[in-house]
């Protein structure tokens, strides 16, 4: 794949829609739009008695050679209804190749870098968001400082929407814990929640009136007037809800769909993407037991974010408005990301459950068992917070105490084989932390490893 930067411009018709048409058409032609700048409002240059432009720059990956890419860009310009009458005159869509790898070349129909880019602030400003240098190693900042163009070039919004982010009409499909907390919080912060939809009609009316929104009759009805559609159903319903929402009404080229699932990739909303919608996902790294704690803990959370190029800047802005900490994530890493949350949260829970079961097995009351396990877990967590996981580690592994380790395993093998297997598996993983701490010598680490790998009843071979 080759890397290129494309400059987009439009000053006729629905300008934002024209830019979105360009993004969608490029992607349909297998040009991957990796990142997008903000959208800028700019004064026309050259032939000045025309309307202001919207401009943006895209970073793309493509298999196409430069001339084929140019041909594609021109075909997309034509499909957008561009008429080539006045040179540098009004146009529904202009797509220029600004940079293509480190190529510097000039031919009849194509010059790279784009011959006029250094004289155009509306190219350099958005490009400076995405790139640092030109092929001749001049920095973009330097090029901007030397740019003779003094016309006004200002951020107007993102490819998701122009203007104040609070005025962007939002819809929520699915009003569970996270959806209703999110809708309520955004509304309190002055955002515009246009509609909510829930398959449970009573729930739908209740949440709609709580957030001052319209109770929609269907997914498509909710999405109809919205620019940004949150699909906050259970994970298993996201795909079908998104299909129904993108089935009828509304111009999908002007919509963005956002889900808040921790484990699903953006592919789950492919129905909307195919019709031109941008996609994003924001996921609070939190567990919410109920609506009250969700509403309390959602703002200020860490949010992981994935999104198609045009939607990332918007999602970032949204999370910042929620006083959250955005952490960008690649869509293909979503499952791995979720597995970490399961290990940190759910597996800890299961291990504490197993510890309590062992206590009960040796005569502790239910209550006593939990009371015995919890302080250990709490102290561990607060030590990890203070010292990090490696330094906070205590116990036989951390001490290199082979005989205790062996005694633990022998006891568990005899009474609770599943816990013995978990003990072995987790400890093998934990040897990394033991090594990181550096307090146990190599021979002992190897002996512990052999013991842990040995399975039930294995002898410690080669232990010192
Ligand atoms: P501009 O984009 O400069 O406002 P046009 O879109 O009308 O003007 O383009 C005029 C011609 O510029 C096109 O027909 C194309 O062959 C040529 N051209 C040369 N280099 C490039 C480039 N890097 N990207 C796009 N067009 C280019
Ligand atoms: Mg052009």
- Residue 289 pLDDT: 76
Lowest mean pLDDT among 204-208, 233-237, 286-290, 394-398: 286-290
Please determine, for residue 287, whether its predicted confidence score (pLDDT) is greater than 80: no
Main-chain phi, psi angles of 218, to 5 degrees: -160, 170
As a whole number, mean pLDDT of residues 159-166 equals 95
Check if 120 is active-site.
no
- Residue 456 pLDDT: 58
- Residue 301 pLDDT: 85
pLDDT bin (cut points 50, 70, 90) of residue 422 is very high
Main-chain phi, psi angles of 459, to 5 degrees: -85, 155
Please determine, for residue 459, whether its predicted confidence score (pLDDT) is greater than 70: no
Q: Ligand 1: distance of its center to the CA of 7 in Å?
A: 11
pLDDT bin (cut points 50, 70, 90) of residue 281 is very high
Please determine, for residue 409, whether its predicted confidence score (pLDDT) is greater than 80: yes
**Ligand 1 and 125: CB distance under 6 A:** no
State the DSSP string of 371-407: HHHHHHHHHHHHHHHHH-HHHH--SHHHHT-HHHHHH
Pocket test for ligand 1, best of 114, 116, 117 (most atoms within 8 A of CB): 114
Residues 6+ apart with CB under 8 A from 84: none
- Rounded to two decimals, the pTM is 0.86
Q: Ligand 2: distance of its center to the CA of 277 in Å?
A: 25
**Ligand 1 and 222: CB distance under 6 A:** no
> Could you report the per-residue pLDDT of 134-153, keeping only the tens digit for each?
999 999 999 999 999 999 99
Please determine, for residue 48, whether its predicted confidence score (pLDDT) is greater than 70: no
Residue 438 burial (CB count, 10 A): 8
Q: Which atom of ligand 1 is nearest to the CA of 87?
A: 7
Q: Which atom of ligand 1 is nearest to the CA of 94?
A: 6
Please tell me which residue in 17, 96, 312, 413 is annotated as part of the active site. 96
**Ligand 1 and 93: CB distance under 6 A:** no
> Could you report the per-residue pLDDT of 50-102, keeping only the tens digit for each?
789 999 999 999 999 999 999 999 999 999 986 666 565 668 999 999 999 99
Range with the largest mean pLDDT of 14-18, 48-52, 298-302: 14-18
**Ligand 1 and 116: CB distance under 6 A:** yes
Please tell me which residue in 15, 17, 94, 120 is annotated as part of the active site. 94
Tokens read off for 243: 């299909």
Report the candidate in 29, 38, 82, 74 with the shortest Cα–Cα distance to residue 58: 38
- Residue 464 pLDDT: 44
Q: Count helices and strands (H / E) in the chain.
A: 19, 16
> Could you report the per-residue pLDDT of 319-364, keeping only the tens digit for each?
999 888 999 999 999 999 999 989 998 999 999 999 999 999 999 9
Q: What is the C-alpha separation between 374 and 378, in angstroms, rounded?
A: 6
Q: Look at ligand 1, atom 13, and give the residue with the nearest C-alpha.
A: 109
Report the candidate in 263, 196, 267 with the shortest Cα–Cα distance to residue 231: 196
- E strand or H helix at 155: strand 153-157
Residue 260's Cα: distance from chain center in Å? 10
- Residue 290 pLDDT: 79
Tokens read off for 100: 């293509």
Q: Which atom of ligand 1 is nearest to the CA of 100?
A: 23
Q: Look at ligand 1, atom 21, and give the residue with the nearest C-alpha.
A: 110
Q: Ligand 2: distance of its center to the CA of 351 in Å?
A: 62
Give, as one character, the DSSP assignment of residue 116.
T
pLDDT bin (cut points 50, 70, 90) of residue 463 is very low
Q: Ligand 1: distance of its center to the CA of 85 in Å?
A: 14
- Residue 204 pLDDT: 97
Radius of gyration of the CA atoms of the chain, in A = 28
* Average pLDDT across the chain, whole number: 92
Lowest mean pLDDT among 406-410, 422-426, 460-464: 460-464
Tell whether omega for the bond before 177 is within 30 degrees of 0, i.e. cis. Answer: no
- Residue 462 pLDDT: 46
pLDDT bin (cut points 50, 70, 90) of residue 455 is low
């Amino acid at each position: 794949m080759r890397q290129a930067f494309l400059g987009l411009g439009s000053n006729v018709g629905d300008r934002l829609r024209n830019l979105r048409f360009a993004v969608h058409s490029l992607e349909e032609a297998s040009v991957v739009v990796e990142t997008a700048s903000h959208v800028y409002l700019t004064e026309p240059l050259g032939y000045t008695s025309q309307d202001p432009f919207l401009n943006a720059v895209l970073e793309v990956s493509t298999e196409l050679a430069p001339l084929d890419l140019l041909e594609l860009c021109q075909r997309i310009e034509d499909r957008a209804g561009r008429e080539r009458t006045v040179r540098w005159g009004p146009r529904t869509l202009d797509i220029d190749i600004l940079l293509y790898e480190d190529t510097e070349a000039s031919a009849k129909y194509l010059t790279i870098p784009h011959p006029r880019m250094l004289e155009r602030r509306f190219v350099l400003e958005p490009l400076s968001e995405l790139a640092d240098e030109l092929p001749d190693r001049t920095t973009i900042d330097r090029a901007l400082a030397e740019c003779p163009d003094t016309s006004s070039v200002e951020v107007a919004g993102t490819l998701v929407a122009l203007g104040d982010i609070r005025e962007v009409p939002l819809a929520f499909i699915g009003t569970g814990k996270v959806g209703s907390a999110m809708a309520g919080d955004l509304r309190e912060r002055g955002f515009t929640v246009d509609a909510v939809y829930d398959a449970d009609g009573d729930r739908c009316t209740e949440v709609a009136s709580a957030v001052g929104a319209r109770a929609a009759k269907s997914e498509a009805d909710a999405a109809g007037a919205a620019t940004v559609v949150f699909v906050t159903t259970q994970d298993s319903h996201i795909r079908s809800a998104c299909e129904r929402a993108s089935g009828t009404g509304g111009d999908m080229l002007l919509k963005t769909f956002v889900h808040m699932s921790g484990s699903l990739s953006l592919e789950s909303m492919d129905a909307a993407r195919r019709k031109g919608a941008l996609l994003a996902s924001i996921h609070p790294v939190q567990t919410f037991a109920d609506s009250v704690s969700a509403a309390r803990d959602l703002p200020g959370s860490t949010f992981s974010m994935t999104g198609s190029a045009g939607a990332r800047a918007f999602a970032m802005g949204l999370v910042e408005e929620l006083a959250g900490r955005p952490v960008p994530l690649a869509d293909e890493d979503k499952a791995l990301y979720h597995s970490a949350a399961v290990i940190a949260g759910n597996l800890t829970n299961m291990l504490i459950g197993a510890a309590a079961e062992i206590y009960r097995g040796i005569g502790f009351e239910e209550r006593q068992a939990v009371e015995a396990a919890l302080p250990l877990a709490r102290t561990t967590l607060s030590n990890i917070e203070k010292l990090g996981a490696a330094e906070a580690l205590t116990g036989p592994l951390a001490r290199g105490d082979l005989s205790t380790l062996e005694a633990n395993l022998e006891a568990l093998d005899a009474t609770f084989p599943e816990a013995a297997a978990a003990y072995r598996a987790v400890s093998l993983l934990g040897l990394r932390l033991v090594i990181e701490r550096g307090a146990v010598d190599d021979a002992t680490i190897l002996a512990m490893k052999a013991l842990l790998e040995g399975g039930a009843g294995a002898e410690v071979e080669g232990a010192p």
